[in-house]
Amino acid sequence: MTRHARRQTETAEAPLQTHLPDDGLQGFRTDGYAVLPQRIAEGALEALRAEADGLIRRFTQDGFRSDDYWHFTPAGTHAPVLYRIHNLESQGSPTAARLYADEGPLHPMAASILGVPVRATACAMIVKLPGVAAPVPWHRDRTNVPPHTVCNLSVFLDDSDGGNGCLEFVPGSHLTSGAEEAEALQAQGPVRALPLAAGDVAVHDVRIAHASRRNTSPRIRRSIVIEFAPAELELP
């Protein structure tokens, strides 16, 4: 995917602030999300994809089931559809576990974004299987922390666009009251789709309203999501 294809469906007005470097951090504060383009090298991506394929095959071919392998069975079928592998750092997948570990490559990015020393607090793989993946409904990951305090970094293993269920956000909704429901925020809009290329890292404030659509394409869409919080903060 070219850089041009990554442009958003709607363009925000450029904020008049000059004290932060123009590397997505300002977008994170004003919009609640940003892209750190091409942060994961191809070799590391290949290793993550191979490992992801192995985990997914455990479910789809070997019949492995666990509380960490979240799935649903579409009405009228008997075929369970995997959509999330939770506690990814504990699934015997060392490459993904390194992303979560204290010395992992995402920690400096999260520390720079949040402006404090950080720790990883959750790790999961989002799986949108071709043709069968359901939409992820509008939601806010957390509203029990202030804005700009806790973020999710998503490492994209595959190109992601409208066809295979890219992320969609309501920009600025991380700044609204925690009592606001994600669906109401989505109805007020605007909604922006965020196409990404494999190797990109997306960051979003855990308070932002976001969602993704079903995967109607023949292309898989996998991302590894890691939540980062200030090292000193006890998450509520």
Does 190 sit behind a cis peptide bond, omega within 30 degrees of 0 on the bond before it? yes
From residue 116, alpha-carbon distances to 8, 144, 221, 233 in Å are 29, 19, 31, 10
Q: Judged by CB, which is closer to Ni ion: 89, or 141? A: 141
Rounded to the nearest whole angstrom, what is the least distance from the CB of residue 193 to Ni ion in the complex?
15
Find, among 77, 74, 80, the residue nearest to 59 by Cα.
Answer: 80
What is the distance between the alpha carbons of residues 162 and 146, in angstroms, rounded to a whole number?
30
Nearer to Ni ion, 28 or 58 (CB): 28
User: Which is closer to Ni ion, CB of 141 or CB of 205?
Assistant: 141
Instruction: Provide the minimum distance between the beta carbon of 139 and Ni ion in the complex, in angstroms, as a whole number.
Output: 6
Q: How many CA atoms lie within 13 A of 177 on its CB side?
A: 4
Least Å from the CB of residue 88 to Ni ion? 15
Residues forming contacts to Ni ion in the complex (CB under 5 A) are 141
CB of 133 to Ni ion, least distance (A): 15
Closest CA to 225 of 105, 104, 120, 91: 120
Task: Indicate the residue whose CB is closest to Ni ion.
Answer: 141
- In this complex, which beta carbon is closest to Ni ion, that of residue 58 or of residue 204? 204
Cβ nearer to Ni ion, comparing 58 with 205:
205
In whole angstroms, the minimum distance from the beta carbon of 21 to Ni ion comes to 26
